[in-house]
Every structure is written in structure tokens, then in C-alpha cells.
Amino acid sequence: MTKYFRNNLIVLALAIILSLLLHVAHVLLPFMFGPIIATIIVVKILRLEIKWPFWLSELGLILLGVQIGSTFTKSVIYDIKDDWFTIILVTVLLLLLSLLIALLFKKIAQVNTETAILSVIPGALSQMLVMAEEDKKANIMVVSLTQTSRIIFVVVLVPFISYFFKTPGGSHSSGTEVHHNLTQALTLTNILTLIILIALVYYVMGKINFPTKQMLAPIVVLIGWNLITGVTFTLDNYIIAGAQIIYMIRIGNQIAKLLDQMKGRIAVAIAVQNVLLILLALVMVYVISLFTNNMINDLFLGAAPGGMNQIVLVAIETGADVPMISSYHIFRIFFILFLIAPLLNYYLRYRASKNQG
């Protein structure tokens, strides 16, 4: 037995035990916080080095993508199409807030404009890092640390704010059409067909370097499946719990390593910009909720900065509208990828040529 294999078994066992204890104690998001706490204990207290298998965490994300995709039934998609204006409005306002906060981040962290903008834009980690590499004036270390450390604030602040505004009486996200678990609704042939289709779409997205393919591939396949076959389902609870554990161990390992790097002026700037962005997003959606029929929790999780992966876990646990929230984040990915990133790239190149002139 290798050292890393033994350490992985230790963290997995502790993650399962802590998750079950938190679940029994009715603690918020037990299968999300359990693995994070377990990994921090193993890395920071037991001083064991963790190399969590990448394929395991990817499998967890794919399963969560299947759960998200399964909620996109015909009636849900019909409801979402009536909400596109709000989705666009929330996305645009959030990005404008980010740019304003970038000015404050620049002042506190004492970095240049290029670094500040690329550090603060939420929801496009890989794209911002690529642009930071290409821009000679951007400090890629600050951009990388700021973007990756956002996850600490997302997993701590967002769940508690969301829990405060959670939907009374449980989830309304699955839709009235879904009644059966995957193991009851699908045959072995159905399951194998879905696995093959997801693998194919995942492979194609990987070839074209498409972002968040781990979740978007199963979402695309399941939307098509629901529309074509009408055979809807939801993942069994133990599958969702297992998916959270094997994915969140990776997140816990990232957080444990980031804690050592969060020092000095940069740490203060990172904390201020993330807390501000989350709180201002809450204020923004509260105002929007006064003029729409949307629940505050749905709007907040749709606007919350951070990865779709963690936000959707919070949505599932707090009874939020999973397909609606997923739509906000999917739209943001496309919006940043195809519009904001090219505009930012043009602006940064313009600044560079102007300074040279």
C-alpha cells in the first residue's frame, strides 16, 4: 500500500464519518462540509499529504451534473424561457459590481489595473488565468490566488446566507414530473446509454477546451434525454451524497493549501473583495426580487460569485430552484467566454499599446 493510497483512504473514511455525524446532527450541508473539515484535519493537523485522484472528483462532478440535468424537464424549460431578461440583468449587474470592486481591490492590494480586473471577474477562472498569462503587466500569481481562494468565501458565506432565505417546506427544484429515483425509473440499458452519451459529449467538449465540461456534458445529455424520451428521474440520495463527498475532498485539499498562502495585504484585499461581492450581490437581488416573482434565494444563488459546482450543492440542500440557478451560471459562463473575455482582452491590449506609445 503506497503512502498516498493510505492517506486517501484515511481522508475518505474520516469524510464519510464526519458527513454522517453532521447529517444526524442536522447541520447545514453535511456532505459538503464533512469532507472539507475531514481534509483540513488530515492535511493541517495530522500533516498527511493528500493526492486525491482527479478522476474521482471528476466523477463526483459528472454525477452532480446528471442531477442538475435531470431537473430540466419540459415544463421547467418552458418556465425558464420566461425568465431570460432577469438572467441577463443579474449577470450584467454582477459583472458591473465586480468592476467597481476591482477599483477597491487595486487600492488595497496595491496592484495594477490589469491584475485587479482579472482577479475580481467571477465565474471564469480558467479564462482569467489564460488572459493573465498573455498580459505581460498582469501578476498571474495574484490573479491565480485571488480567483482560486474565492472558493473559501463561497463555501463559508453563501450557504449560510442562502440557508437564511431558504424555501420553506423543502425543494421545489425537481419539478412535479419527477417521482422516481434513477434505480427505479431507468433500466440497465437506459443507464448504459446515458453513460455512453455523456462520455461522448464530455470527450468532444474536452477536445475544444470547453469550460466546466464535467457538469455541462451531463446537463446537455439529460436535457436531450428528458425532451426526447420523457423518462424523468432523480438520483438516489446516497448517490448525491457520495458525489458530494468525492468532489468536496478535492475542494478541502485546495482550501487547506490556500490557507498557507493567505497572508498580508493581498489576503486582506482578497477577503474584502469577496465579502463585498457576495454581500452586494445579495443587496442587488433583493432589489430585483421586489420587481419580479423570483424567490430571493433563487436569485442570490443565481448571482452568487463562485463555481456552479458549489453553488448548485447549496441550491439542492436549501430547496432552491436548481434548473433556474443552473441557467444563471451556464449563461454567465457563455457570457464571459464569448463577450466579456474578448472585450477585456481588447481593453487590456489597448491599455498596453497606449502605455507603450
- What is the total count of domains within the chain? 2
In the three-class reduction of DSSP (H, G, I as helix; E, B as strand; rest coil), residue 165 is classed as: coil
Q: Are residues 115 and 95 in the same domain?
A: yes
8 Å CB contact between 162 and 318: yes
| 60 lies in the same domain as 44 | no
For residues 25 and 138, state if they share a domain.
no
Tell whether pTM > 0.75: yes
Range of the domain at 16: 1-51
pLDDT at 262: 76
Could you read off the pLDDT tens digit of each residue along the chain, which spans 357 residues? 688 899 999 999 999 999 999 999 988 789 988 999 999 999 999 999 999 999 999 999 899 889 888 888 888 887 777 788 999 999 999 999 999 999 999 999 999 988 898 888 886 666 677 677 777 788 888 888 888 888 888 888 898 898 888 766 554 544 445 458 888 888 899 999 999 999 999 999 989 877 678 888 999 999 999 999 988 888 888 999 999 999 989 888 888 888 777 778 888 999 999 999 999 999 999 999 999 888 899 999 999 987 777 788 888 878 888 888 989 988 888 888 778 878 887 887 787 777 765
Grid cell, residue 252, equals 478541502
Do 185 and 36 share a structural domain? no
43 shares its domain with 144? no
pLDDT of residue 105: 94
CA distance 205 to 17: 36
Residues 290 and 312 in one domain: yes
- pLDDT, position 169: 53
What distances in angstroms separate CA 230 from CA 55, 72, 165, one per listed residue?
31, 11, 32
- Predicted pLDDT at 20: 96
Same domain, 25 and 107: no
DSSP states of 110-160 as a string? T--HHHHHHHH--S-HHHHHHHHHH-TTS-HHHHHHHHHHHHHHHHHHHHH
Whether residues 27 and 160 share a domain: the answer is no
Rounded to 10 deg, the angle between the 296-303 and 264-289 helix axes is 140
Please answer whether residues 102 and 117 qualify as being in contact, where contact means their C-beta atoms are separated by less than 8 angstroms.
Answer: yes
Question: 326 and 295 in one domain?
Answer: yes
Longest CA–CA separation in the chain, Å = 68
Question: In this structure, are 10 and 141 located in the same domain?
Answer: no
- On whether both 202 and 64 belong to a single domain, the answer is yes
On whether both 59 and 45 belong to a single domain, the answer is no
pLDDT score of 341: 76
Residue 175: per-residue pLDDT: 44
Q: Mark which of 18, 34, 51 sits at the end of a domain.
A: 51
Angle of helix 54-70 relative to helix 237-261, nearest 10 degrees, comes to 130
Q: Where does a domain end: 32, 51, 70?
A: 51
